[in-house]
Amino acid sequence: MKRRVLILFAASVLLALLLGLLNHYLAIWQVHVWCGGLFVAFAALRLDYRTGALAAFVAGLLLDAGEPVAFGTQGFLFLAAHAVVFTVRARAPREETIIGVVVALLANLGLFLALGFLRISPVVEPAQAWLRGFADLLVSQIVLALIGPWFFSLQARLLEMTGTHRRNFARRAF
């Protein structure tokens, strides 16, 4: 379990760095890309509950370190998203990449809205803040749909290269 969590954490670090670079270059257009659903979907769909929950929580803590939210906020939101996806995953062909991307898009939508409610200050005009948030959400969903297959493939390949066969753990509940 520890090895799988470390492997998924390494992939999460890589994704966080790449998204940080993308956000740096998009800053001149005042656009922010956030792909939190990608950090949750693979582990929730293809690994056992405990391993996936730990990987999602640690990825959330990684993102918390650079965001203006209380430390642990995204970690617990990712944990909740993992629990929801894990609960409904039996109804979907979860080995398919397109299903993983759709689940990541839905998880990203829910997480983005939850963070939006937590982050919007009562001082700011809500209509203007939400309009900006939905513009960021639209760009984030497009980027997630484009890089999602690559990230799922990366995680699967890293697990295979290190000898951790995900099929052995995909069917266990707890």
Global pTM reads 0.89
The candidate with the shortest Cα–Cα distance to 52, out of 170, 148, 164, is 170
User: In this predicted structure, what is the pLDDT of residue 173?
Assistant: 47
The yes-or-no verdict on residue 25 having pLDDT over 90 is yes
Ordered domains of the chain (ranges, CATH)? 2-168 (1.10.1760)
User: In this predicted structure, what is the pLDDT of residue 174?
Assistant: 44
The model's pLDDT over 123-162, given as tens digits with 9 standing for 90+, comes to 667 777 778 889 999 999 999 999 999 999 999 999 999 8
Q: Comparing 170 with 57, which gets the higher pLDDT?
A: 57
User: In this predicted structure, what is the pLDDT of residue 66?
Assistant: 81
Sequence-separated (6 or more) residues with CB below 8 Å from residue 46: 94, 95, 156, 166, 170
The yes-or-no verdict on residue 27 having pLDDT over 70 is yes
> Do residues 31 and 19 lie in contact, with contact meaning Cβ atoms separated by under 8 Å?
no
Give the separation between CA 105 and CA 102, rounded to whole angstroms: 5
Give the separation between CA 23 and CA 139, rounded to whole angstroms: 11
The yes-or-no verdict on residue 54 having pLDDT over 70 is yes
Sequence-separated (6 or more) residues with CB below 8 Å from residue 159: 4, 7, 165, 166
Q: Comparing 145 with 115, which gets the higher pLDDT?
A: 145
* Average pLDDT, integer, range 24-37: 94
The model's pLDDT over 59-98, given as tens digits with 9 standing for 90+, comes to 999 999 888 778 899 999 999 999 999 999 988 888 899 9
User: In this predicted structure, what is the pLDDT of residue 60?
Assistant: 94
